[in-house]
Amino acid sequence: MSELIIHEVGPRDGLQIEKTTVPTEQKIAWIDALIASGVDVVQVGSFVHQQKVPQMADTDALFTHYAQPGRRPARTRLSGLVLNEKGMERAFKCGVDFLCMGVSASDTHSRKNTGMSTTEAADRIVAMAKAARDAGATVQVSVQSAFGCGFEGVVPEPRVLDLVRRFVDEGLLTVSLADTAGHANPAQVERLFGAVRALDPRVECACHLHDTYGFGLANAYAALRAGVVSFESAFAGLGGCPFTAVTGGNVCTEDFVHLIQRMGLRPDVRLDRLIDLAKDAARFFGRDMAGRVYKTGPVPTIAPAGA
């Protein structure tokens, strides 16, 4: 758990479903705040067609901004999501060296999200991931709808593990399971990640959890128990997949950080800055955010008696 990685996806997954256009300058301010908070990775955007996801139209400009001298973060890495070869070409042109790509275990979700079946998408993503890795990029592959699908319901676990096994057989060892529809429960999370780790102990497990039905933090704790080392979350609990049946936000970054810090983990992350960022997002969008701790404040630290 000392190696726990916080992968902030708010600028991408958090904003992709929002109707209010977020100006590039505002995104930069939020990304700068995330970098200053000490999270490990920030997912800046996705290289998708701007007509399909208008909020991501400035992804190239954002990465170009951070590629300029003096603007590349010293410690925090910047990641980008790619769905196809054209998106990967755009990412490399912008200097992105951490690429995330995935395949949905739900054939219906896969077709709605990418226009391809699960099998077609897997063939394409594996080839892309190997090419990106060979070009020197860090690559994370994911199985989307790993815990259930808003269209198909239950997704058989053997289907998820078959996709993971294919990734592992190709030497792609950073693997995320994504709860795209928010259907996961803690017992399922612990069981499925345990099965992934049993496939190959070299696999670095990551998780991407949504709080659609209120299970987000419980599932994150279950993932911790199962040995997951990388957690994707979004500031203010923003987000949701625009191509699933019922959309729910991501696990809230400031709430997750509050939880793990209460457990003695990652005291280096600036929770106060994440809370300020959630408050700023609430002001910008003119509504309450999904998170809790930005409203309540963190549990106060009380010195032991006699200290």
Q: What is the pLDDT of residue 299?
A: 95
Contact indicator for 46, 80 with CB cutoff of 8 Å: yes
Q: Which CATH superfamily is domain 5-296 in?
A: Aldolase class I (3.20.20.70)
Please name every residue paired with 140 in a beta bridge, in sequence order, or none if there are none.
100
- CA atoms lying within 13 Å on the CB side of residue 290: 26
Q: What is the pLDDT of residue 247?
A: 58
Please name every residue paired with 100 in a beta bridge, in sequence order, or none if there are none.
81, 140
Q: What is the pLDDT of residue 175?
A: 98
Q: Outline where the chain has alpha helix (H).
A: 24-37, 59-67, 85-93, 107-114, 118-134, 157-169, 186-199, 216-225, 253-262, 271-285, 293-296
Q: What is the pLDDT of residue 248?
A: 62
Residue tagged active-site, from 94, 100, 207, 241: 241
For 179-221, what is each residue's pLDDT tens digit? 999 999 999 999 999 999 999 999 999 999 999 999 999 999 9
Say which amino acid occupies 152: E
Burial of 55 (0-12, 13-18, 19+ CB in 10 A): buried
- Read off the pLDDT band of 52 (50, 70, 90): confident
What's the average model confidence in pLDDT over 39-59?
Answer: 94
SS3 260: helix
Q: What is the pLDDT of residue 304?
A: 59
pTM of the model: 0.93
| DSSP H or E stretch at residue 116 | none
Q: What is the pLDDT of residue 230?
A: 98
241 is catalytic: yes
Q: How far apart are CA 268 and CA 271, in angstroms?
A: 9
Q: What is the pLDDT of residue 242?
A: 56
Q: What is the pLDDT of residue 1?
A: 40
Q: What is the pLDDT of residue 112?
A: 76
